[in-house]
Structure 1
Amino acid sequence: MSEAKCLPTIGKSTPKVPTIGVFSPCDPRIDEDSRTRAKNIIKMVANTISGAVLLPDKTPAPVVYSDVLIDSEAQADIVAQQFREAGVDILICCPDTWAFPQLTGISLLQQFPANTPINITCGNSGPKPGVVYAHALNGAISQYGKMVSLNVGTWPDTGLDPQMTEQTAKNLIDWCYAAVTAVAVRGRRVVVFGHDSMGMETALAHVIPTRNTFGLEITRLDMKLLADMISKKAYDEKELKELRGWIDKHVGDRLELKDSADGERFNQSLAMYLVVRDIMSDLNAIGGGFMSQLEWGSDSRGLPLPVADCMESLFNSTFDHNGPKTAKPYATEADVQGLLTMLFTTYLSGGEPPLFMDLRKVWESWEIKKLADEIGLSGLPTDTDWIEKGLVDGNNSGSASFNWAGLPGTSVEDLMSGVQMPLADAGYFPGGGNSVTFMTPAGIDGIAARMAYSAVNGKFSMVWDEAKTTTVPEKLEKAMCNLTNWNWPHTFVVPKYASMVEYKQYAVANHFHMSWNLPVARMQHWMDLTGVLSVAPWAARPSFIEGVDRPQPLIHLINGGENSYKQML
């Protein structure tokens, strides 16, 4: 009688890392040189993406390939076993010859879970038409109802060792980022302290839809636990001194402290970072959020505690007192939909720091000119982005990554030299502590976006546009910032296609977010894989921009269009 096997104990779990597997079908009737070429193409495709797709911690996603050409079901079974043993959960098919879809690609695909991302990348080859197979396989998979992405690219028709073009590689890498993002968050969790701040529907933790759509868990903890752990000093006091020393070194007298009590409250804010960081590490969390107001720092019925602004900024940054680190998307006011936005864009960008902002004031061009007249500022430039179009003042009391105090690649020393930490508004935050403020420089290109959820259709959506940061003359900047909160971070954002009227009317929440190094096609591929609705209703934006947008998947086209298909899921 056989006995069940007891598995060895694991001290600390290691989350699964998405692994990409590359394969190719073939036809047993094909000549040997063509088969050799097909094997070389598998290796070429795998090496093209190997090292090019980064996880948020900047480690590359693993890539494996099989040089077993899939002629029939027998080889499909062999490659499937190879891939299972290698932990493959993302598939790339790179055909260079004709083959039989059901005997090859489909026989392999059916041995993986239904939500396994699959991409077909081929050259537009003529001699042994792999592109014909690609269209046949794409059509077959789409007709039986599975999402598949087709990338008809370019590599030479002849020669044993062809190389794909840069554009073909870019298209494939963008899809790989989307697939890795979709797979990487499955089974992971974020940790949110408290409920959504002030009962905002747009910030609610939609626990079941989030679980069903993304496979992501939302661990909810009470803020009392954090308050108790701070009171018990459940942190390394030596490390707290090191963190405070790091702030003193980089911020200096721009950290406003009027007395020793202010200093103690600020230290308490720093201790929050250490405690929450350790809790998130224990739970293998990939992001988080903190409610803060009202109960934590603003409700005078209790004992208001210091604000969490510095803690939130540290989480969203790629560095702290210990040196370089992974940016952990962190949402102020426990804004879970904001957290989801930043989480996915951080993965899609390969770990770039997210920016959390209030949609504080949308300035149309005429409003900027009017303010300039009121403050006696003349001679405004006539050809700048903000004078032609207007701008959005992104301004919030918490969660602004320190990285956004400078351009991408700016040193820690230079970034922190632009950061101030004034005392928090005592009327708004009677618990005290310090805010964070800086001005983001002009010249950062990225995507400004915000997720939403609808109870009507049970779907998440992403409202997005390409955008860039800008600046205005110093006197005008000061006047604009003083109209909101000068002592909070400011990022002046100019959307590429949305008008200021559209931005005023189509915002899905009072918060929005921005990430750099995030190609449009990458986000679109991710929305395809997750069923998230794409919302870009800007009148000035074409429906398809070649070289920017990804081509629509066939499954969208044969089911009434993108939104129609996604509503059926």
Structure 2
Amino acid sequence: MSSKKKVNLKERIDEPKYRIGILSFTDPRSEVKLVKEREDYIKKCHDELISILESNGYTVINPQPSIIEKSDTKEIFGINNHKQIKEAVIEFTKQQVSAILIGCFAWNEPNIPLELAKQVDVPIGLVTKNNPLWPGVTAITSTGATFWELSNTYYIKNHERFVLPMNGNVESMLPWLKATCAVNHLRYGKLLLWGGTPALNMEHLNDDIPFLKRFLIEDIITQDQYLLVKNAEDILVNEKKSIDAFKQWLLDNKCTIKYDNVMVSKEILDKQIALYLAAKKILNSFHQDGERIIGTSIKCQPELSVDYGITPCLLPAFLPFGFDHEGPKPIVPTVCEGDIKGLLTSSLLYALNNEIPPLFGDLKIVNDDYFVIANCGAASAYYGELSNKPEKTLPNCTIAAQCQGVAGGAFGYRTPTTDEEITYARLIRLDTNYIMQYGTGKIVTMKEKQKMGWGITWPHTAVKMNVSVESLVKAIGTNHLSLMPGNYTEELKHVSKILGISTVQLDNENSIQSFLDIY
């Protein structure tokens, strides 16, 4: 029996934690004037910033009141000595904050915030207001220059600086905050690979796992597909009602099922459903034991598709979807073929917006108008109608014969056109160097319909091309892409800076050419 503390699944330990630390500093000198006015101003700025961040969905870790309460000079709100730093370090470390905002709203001596930054190794943002009545700009530039001068750690050297307007608008800060939380989500999360990596001898799906565990992810766990099969076979015998309930849920929501009694029969679909339920059960057991599984990969070929004889297409369709026959459920980014960097990318995009599951799939069609992402067998059901509601998206989805494997149905759809921008991305590795490739576009209507041969029953999402076919094909470091509605280019730039890696904009000819010139 596990000795680990059981946790309530409703706490959603797999969800991104948007926790930001904050500490504001002040002048240690007692002989200066306007001390009360200065401290009142610092407190006002500090409290306003917390309020605005909380209204934007962040949990703000604020040890300042507790520190001041223990101080001999309670009238001084700002932090101004080394002793006060110790409690803040303990609290920020305990809460696993994604970043620390250092308030430089009036003059402070730089050595005290530097001490904090040295002891908590997370991204640092120096923040002030552009108020001519107080020397905040002097404080932030002095503190920033000291950080640069000493460059004790990567985050001290590469700190961010934010000068906020007097109305407290934090829009300039939000992409950086999102990026820090996304990176933190990965660094305290684990990936689960069923069947390991890579499929079909695609070496670029593999990775340096020990290095990744130092660099970006807490752990990468590999389980044999046999555990899925074993659980699925048990479900087929002992939980047939759950299989029937899932199938009826599909039908109630008008998902089309095309039986051909060769690739798709009632018995074959039952096995596919059982594999999905088995995956869900395994994930629940990890979460019950307090392990943050933030993404999964299923290696289908050939162990499941041929040796077991069933393709597990319902895993990438419904693990990354917020609903099934049992009601609301966790969204778990899921990829195929043991694609580690693809899973890291999908998990990163999900951390930037945990309301929407990321799309994952193959780069299948490229022409002058658009490129198509079409995954082998399935992708998140969300993209059938760009909706988390099964009654809206499932009527546009069809389960029909897969084009590979012994038996199994693919879960297919055509993602509808939208005016909203989307972001596609991929973390790649070139000669040991990690690079973030990304771009934006819009989902458009595909021209190809019956002309398509291979993979006609797969899910297809067409994205408007902003560069030439030649440029995209030359520059892209993968055959797999992840996609998320919304424009996250600024967030991905910040993510890349936090990680210390370069970027390539796949929607920009100049960026592509610069990349090709270097490599």
Same structural fold, with TM-score higher than 0.5 when normalized by the shorter chain: yes
CA distance in 2 between partners of 1:246 and 1:538 (Å):
40
Q: TM (normalized to structure 2)?
A: 0.85
CA distance in 1 between partners of 2:5 and 2:303 (Å):
39
Contact 1:19 1:64 in 2 (8 A): no
Equivalences for 1:195-344 in 2 at 5 Å?
Answer: 195-233=197-235, 236-252=239-255, 254-259=256-261, 262-283=265-286, 284=291, 285-298=293-306, 302=307, 304-344=308-348
Q: How many residues are aligned here?
A: 478
Q: Does 1:499 align with 2:492?
A: no
> 1:159 aligns to what?
none
Contact 2:375 2:458 in 1 (8 A): yes
Unmatched tracts of structure 1, length 5 or more: 1-7, 54-59, 157-162, 365-389, 544-561, 563-569
Equivalences for 1:73-472 in 2 at 5 Å?
Answer: 73-81=82-90, 83=92, 88=97, 90-102=99-111, 104-112=112-120, 114=121, 116-145=122-151, 146-147=154-155, 148-156=158-166, 163-165=167-169, 169-194=170-195, 195-233=197-235, 236-252=239-255, 254-259=256-261, 262-283=265-286, 284=291, 285-298=293-306, 302=307, 304-364=308-368, 390-407=369-386, 409=387, 411-425=389-403, 428-430=404-406, 432-443=407-418, 444-454=420-430, 456=431, 458-472=432-446
Give the aligned residue type for 1:415: T
Contact 2:378 2:411 in 1 (8 A): no
- Structure 2 CA distance for partners of 1:410 and 1:110, relative to 1, 3 Å: closer
CA distance in 2 between partners of 1:395 and 1:208 (Å):
31
Unmatched tracts of structure 2, length 5 or more: 66-76
Contact 1:46 1:65 in 2 (8 A): no
Contact 1:316 1:353 in 2 (8 A): yes
Q: Deviations over 1:264-302 (max 9, x none)?
A: 11111111111111212222311111111122213xxx4
CA distance in 1 between partners of 2:149 and 2:241 (Å):
62
CA distance in 2 between partners of 1:87 and 1:490 (Å):
39
CA distance in 1 between partners of 2:160 and 2:51 (Å):
19
Q: Deviations over 1:54-87 (max 9, x none)?
A: xxxxxx5454352541123233345445545666
Q: TM (normalized to structure 1)?
A: 0.78
Give the aligned residue type for 2:410: S
Q: Which of residues 6, 9, 12 is equivalent to 1:11?
A: 6
Task: Give how far 1:305 is off.
Answer: 2.0
> 2:73 aligns to what?
none
Q: Does 1:522 align with 2:501?
A: no
> 1:478 aligns to what?
449
Give the aligned residue type for 1:126: P
SS at match of 1:100: coil
SS at match of 1:307: coil
CA distance in 1 between partners of 2:399 and 2:4 (Å):
46
SS at match of 1:429: coil
Contact 1:423 1:435 in 2 (8 A): yes
Contact 2:442 2:464 in 1 (8 A): yes
Contact 2:471 2:509 in 1 (8 A): no
Give the aligned residue type for 1:499: S
Task: Give how far 1:106 is off.
Answer: 1.0
Contact 1:24 1:94 in 2 (8 A): yes
CA distance in 2 between partners of 1:85 and 1:288 (Å):
27
Give the aligned residue type for 1:478: K
CA distance in 2 between partners of 1:86 and 1:328 (Å):
23
Task: Give how far 1:155 is off.
Answer: 2.5
Q: Deviations over 1:418-466 (max 9, x none)?
A: 11111222xx221x11111111111241211111123x3x332211111
Contact 2:378 2:458 in 1 (8 A): no
SS at match of 1:27: coil
SS at match of 2:383: helix
The CA RMSD measured in Å over matched residues stands at 2.7
Give the aligned residue type for 1:429: G
CA distance in 2 between partners of 1:230 and 1:9 (Å):
26
Q: Which of residues 60, 66, 71 is equivalent to 2:80?
A: 71
Task: Give how far 1:19 is off.
Answer: 3.0
CA distance in 2 between partners of 1:11 and 1:129 (Å):
50
> 2:35 aligns to what?
31
CA distance in 1 between partners of 2:214 and 2:444 (Å):
39
CA distance in 2 between partners of 1:288 and 1:88 (Å):
25
Contact 2:20 2:99 in 1 (8 A): yes
Task: Give how far 1:410 is off.
Answer: 6.3
Contact 2:63 2:87 in 1 (8 A): no
Contact 1:178 1:522 in 2 (8 A): yes
